Structure 1
Amino acid sequence: MYSGIGDHGERAAFLDARALIGCRHRLLLDSTHPRVLTGVSEDAGVQQRREAAAAHRMLVRDTLVAADPERWLVIAPEQTAAQRAAETMAAMEAGIERIWGGLLPQELDTGRRGGCEILRRDPDRGGYVPIIVVNHKVTDPRQPDPADFHPLTTELYTWNPKPDKHVRNRPQPRDQQRLAHLYRMLQRHGYASPALVGGAIGYHFDRVLLHDLGPILDDYDRRYADRIAVVRGELPTVPSKVPECRQCPWWSRAPEEGGQSCEQWLVGRRDISLVAPGSRAEVLRRHGVETIDDLAAWEGDDPDDWQYEPFTEAIVTARAWATGAPLVRRVDRVQVTRADVEVDVDLESYQEHGAYLWGTLLDGVYRGFVTWDPLPTRDEGRSFAEFWSWLMEIRAQAAADGKTFAAYCYSRTAEDKWLYESARRFAGMPGIPTEREIQRFVDSPQWVDMFQAVSEQFICPNGKGLKKIAPVAGFSWRDPEAGGEASMSWYRLAVAYEGGEPDLSQRTRILEYNEDDVLATQVLRDWMTDRADAEVPAISDFGRRSIAE
């Protein structure tokens, strides 16, 4: 909701901090055509993350308040917004030390509105520090290094900010913008701490990370002025492709009858963001490049502010898209690591709770190492240990037989993350490797990332995801809804997250989806070895000439 009725009956536009990051055009459509989305189901992945975040906030609230109830005031959420705001203001006026669920008064003139999980009175300098509770990581662990910059943190139950040598900050612009938004609202009423900091409690719920708000307030002010002008209809917007489009209802839905969805609008205009999404499109537009054809026809020097892939590749991407080529070879001969013994690996995880399935493919046989105990569970350690022991046994047997060995995944970021996380969380359980053992494996040439092999050897106008690349090699998934977000919905049913009996058909669905993923990497590898050179045009076929020529 971005609008409401003001004190004198006039229509007013309001903006909370959620709108400060993301697509400006979506913000406009949400505010001007709210009825179009009435009854439209929310994206399953977005809904799950929202529910998980709400559960995390409740856990944090119950834990902190129970530890010292006399110091807390919990604002009842079932009250009206006006009642919650009045109670919050009265609590700050009274100097209550810790306020949960505070809501600040809506600002009719600026349009600001917002609330905060925790308002913590600063015992040293007075005023209040806004602290938000989020369901993502805000820090990463690290070994202490005296030469490093140490972020400021404080303990959960006492206010003692100090540099923390045990963690590094994970940049979260959304968190910083929200804290700046809340600081400005507190500042308006004279309740902002002079310390100019805001806090975040993340997924691990082990400390409060403090953000220095001073350096970001100017950026926040500019961003807020732009966004509130969009909502008020003072600034026009047009579609432009960004990562958010994958889950946006406006991508495939027109805002009015007879209108166009964002996808239709962009494709109809052959908009440059289709091949150069996000900030790339912004840079190109500054140089007069509005369409794919403009980029395809580029002549002359590279833009001096282009900081992405080589600009020649951007031109080739445009030319490939214009001619319908799904891939372009960067190299004369496509190569991929091959071995006598090859194992394909793909995992399934659920949010930040863990990896419940490690799927493998060896000699055409699929094996899934899985736990169906709802995450988080210690049984995850058992299934991971079984997977790791099996993989190392295959590796050792290959070495004993004098054969080469390789294990393959697609985009190793997730696999590497959960290999390390599993070793760390289940250390000491039978069969669990040490982090050092994990490191030796993932740093070895026997751990092959097919995503890297694709990225290094192909230009991909339509994206580099496995669901985009494997079909070019002739592979298709059995399930038309196959995808990471969909699998999370299947998982909730498979383990009866909402109660009731587990849905065994969803377990089968997950296993088949995982099997298809490892089959896809095998098919892709074989195709790259045998047919890619003949089937994919070379970059030399898209030289610096106009498409018309």
Structure 2
Amino acid sequence: MTEHARPDVPLLGAYAAKQCPYRLFREHDPTEAAVPAPPDDALQELFDDGIAFEASIGEELVELHGDAVAVIPGRSEAEPDERRALTDAALAAGTPIILGALMQRDTTGRRLGEIDVLLRVGDRYRPIDVKHHRCTTNADEDSDEAEDTEEAADGLSTPVQTLDLLGPAVAVAGLEAKYREDDCLQLAHYYRMLQAHGYAEPHAVGGIIGTERVVAWFDLESPRFSTLTPQQSDGAITYHRRHRTTKRTALDRYDFEFDFRLRVVDEAIERRDRSASPPVLPVSVVECTRCPWHDPCHADMEAVDDVSLVKPVGYPEWSVHRFMGVTTVTQLAALDPATYVDTPLTEHALVNQIRSAQAAVAGQMLIDPDWDESLVPRADVEIDLDLENAARVYLWGARLSRVPDDWPEPAGSYTAFASFDELDDVGEAELVARLWAWLDDIGRRAAGRTVRIYGYSIGSTEVAALRRIAAGGAVPGLPSIDDVMALPWVDLLPLMRRKYWSNWGHGLKVVAAAAGFAWRDDDPGGYASMGWYRDAVAGVDREANIARLLMYNEDDCAATAALRVSP
């Protein structure tokens, strides 16, 4: 933590350490001429959904804990100074749970912070952030992650618990905390703020409440995050010789990233001459797709054919390439991997980057010359399965894409198991029971013939949803988890990654287009479909939106089928 005597220097919030430093530079550069774009409809929808989810968690915590909860007014309800004073009062009173805590500025550490939930632990406080995504993974005793969790628990006897925060911790069986670096960096920011004001626990722990509506606890002093940061010395790149990476704690990662961004901001605010080289350059990373500075940064990178425009090239790889004199996509596409033998990049990673660069130069996805179509498993009866979900899965679509000549239904027959009314656990489970009865019937009729069920990233979507709903046991007729796992699933995503060299990822919309498939809807997409669903449930153009959703889902199923017959 760095002390600064000047009172006018900017203070940074909890997102700074995990955001692109060039974004911060542009935001604080007085010579910047470009204008950031407002959030588009999809991004605004994400914001709105996150705010609504956070509010629902707050309501649940108040319902569970009553007067033990202090609710600080939100941004639209009170001025910052009043909110900070109310937070101070709640902290001084030892309130067990504080929602929406707006902390006093940490002028020494140059931090600002509003913490979703503060939980009193002893005479100190523990930060909890609410996130509209999962905060856990399914426990697997045989996985490396499970072993790491056991080895590095460091006293977290209940790493995942229910939202009953004040009673004895009730562990949630079958789940383990998912260490996402961006979440943990944010928790580290809050821990440092609490530390600056004398309210932090001796050992740094933070929590995330995710869409599972549980709390996952994270040890911020456990080495969890691998870094590949090449060091230049005497004309060579050095790195960890055994693992090529070094595992660091969330606090280590946060302190490094936050201090670096403070230096970037300080240089930005002093800039007066636009011709002067900035301390950072734009680098294309995942964050760019939803950044308000995307268009001007992307234009700058395209103007110089920046090597980071190759999708697998992140900041660490970009640093290596620049050190090796490879600064453009065109140079990377022509690279001989043998010239990189003494760099931190593995041969596999480098070859993947070169192939993506070659696709980028060609302007289209390229089929691997060694691709063998027989790698895709085929069957007498082929079913393509796809789900649509909002808060719950409201539609399961199944397409009989391949059937024997004597099969009663023709190839291409589509069946939907759907509800366009508000769903609870029972309603969601009833759809699965109907789907399962249909699959069981197909299996009986196909006796003596092979059957396979295809999907795209099916393990983390359709199979995961079936397992979750089956485990709930809300209605009769549901399969067991063993029954779900015994089905002949085929995930086409890893196969398409082998088949295509791509600089645009391997999402279904991208790969299916390369295979010659086109959706009938003019605006097919997951975010758009969620809007159609909400309108259908609300009665807005209900029949039209239902028809649109069914057509979109049927086309998703047809798209995965097209991948098996494409060139």
Q: How would you bin the TM-score normalised by the shorter chain?
A: 0.7 to 0.9
TM-score where L is the length of structure 2: 0.79
Alignment match, 2:332: 295
Alignment match, 2:283: 240
**2:277 is the alignment partner of 1:277:** no
Aligned-partner Cα distance in 1 for 2:216–2:384:
40
* SS of corresponding position for 2:395: strand
Return the structure number with greater relative CO, CA threshold 8 A, min gap 6.
Answer: 1
Alignment match, 1:107: 106
Distance of aligned partners of 1:190 and 1:507 in 2 relative to their CA distance in 1, 3 Å threshold: same
Which residues of 2 match residues 83-482 of structure 1 at below 5 A? Answer: 83-108=82-107, 110-123=109-122, 126-142=123-139, 148-149=150-151, 151-153=156-158, 156-158=164-166, 167-207=175-215, 209-213=217-221, 215-234=249-268, 236-251=279-294, 253=295, 261-275=296-310, 276-279=312-315, 280-299=317-336, 300-303=338-341, 304-307=343-346, 309-331=348-370, 333-335=372-374, 336-350=376-390, 353-362=391-400, 363-399=411-447, 402-412=448-458, 413-425=460-472, 427=473, 429-441=475-487, 446-482=488-524
AA in 1 matched with 2:78 = Q
* SS of corresponding position for 1:456: helix
Aligned-partner Cα distance in 1 for 2:290–2:427:
32
| Contact 1:12 1:108 survives alignment (8 Å) | no
* SS of corresponding position for 2:446: helix
**2:23 is the alignment partner of 1:26:** yes
RMSD, aligned CA: 3.1
Q: What is the CA distance between 1:509 and its match in structure 2?
A: 1.8
Alignment match, 1:65: 62
Structure 1 window deviating more from structure 2 (224-233 vs 176-185): it is 224-233
AA in 1 matched with 2:217 = L
Q: What is the CA distance between 1:410 and its match in structure 2?
A: 1.8
Q: What is the CA distance between 1:185 and its match in structure 2?
A: 1.3
| Contact 1:374 1:495 survives alignment (8 Å) | yes
| Contact 2:177 2:218 survives alignment (8 Å) | no
Identity %: 33
| Contact 1:198 1:213 survives alignment (8 Å) | no
Structure 1 window deviating more from structure 2 (269-278 vs 140-149): it is 140-149
Structure 1 window deviating more from structure 2 (92-101 vs 23-32): it is 23-32
Q: What is the CA distance between 1:44 and its match in structure 2?
A: 3.5
Distance of aligned partners of 1:34 and 1:55 in 2 relative to their CA distance in 1, 3 Å threshold: farther
AA in 1 matched with 2:557 = V
Alignment match, 1:538: none
CA deviation string 1:376-416 (max 9, x = no partner)? 452221222212221232233122xx332222112223122
TM-score where L is the length of structure 1: 0.81
CA deviation string 1:473-515 (max 9, x = no partner)? 221122232112222222222222xxx6463322222222112
| Contact 1:176 1:213 survives alignment (8 Å) | no
Structure 1 window deviating more from structure 2 (66-75 vs 208-217): it is 208-217
Aligned-partner Cα distance in 2 for 1:30–1:11:
16
Unaligned runs of 5+ residues in structure 1 are 1-6, 254-260, 533-549
AA in 1 matched with 2:255 = D
Which residue, out of 526, 550, 558, partners 1:484? 526
Q: What is the CA distance between 1:89 and its match in structure 2?
A: 1.8
Aligned-partner Cα distance in 2 for 1:82–1:309:
54
Aligned-partner Cα distance in 1 for 2:542–2:303:
43
Structure 1 window deviating more from structure 2 (482-491 vs 45-54): it is 45-54
Q: What is the CA distance between 1:305 and its match in structure 2?
A: 1.3
AA in 2 matched with 1:370 = A
Q: What is the CA distance between 1:307 and its match in structure 2?
A: 4.0
Unaligned runs of 5+ residues in structure 2 are 223-248, 269-277, 401-410
Aligned-partner Cα distance in 2 for 1:112–1:485:
34
Aligned-partner Cα distance in 2 for 1:368–1:27:
47
| Contact 1:478 1:516 survives alignment (8 Å) | yes
Distance of aligned partners of 1:143 and 1:345 in 2 relative to their CA distance in 1, 3 Å threshold: closer
| Contact 2:179 2:218 survives alignment (8 Å) | no
| Contact 2:118 2:126 survives alignment (8 Å) | yes
Distance of aligned partners of 1:386 and 1:282 in 2 relative to their CA distance in 1, 3 Å threshold: farther
| Contact 2:188 2:220 survives alignment (8 Å) | no
| Contact 1:88 1:103 survives alignment (8 Å) | yes
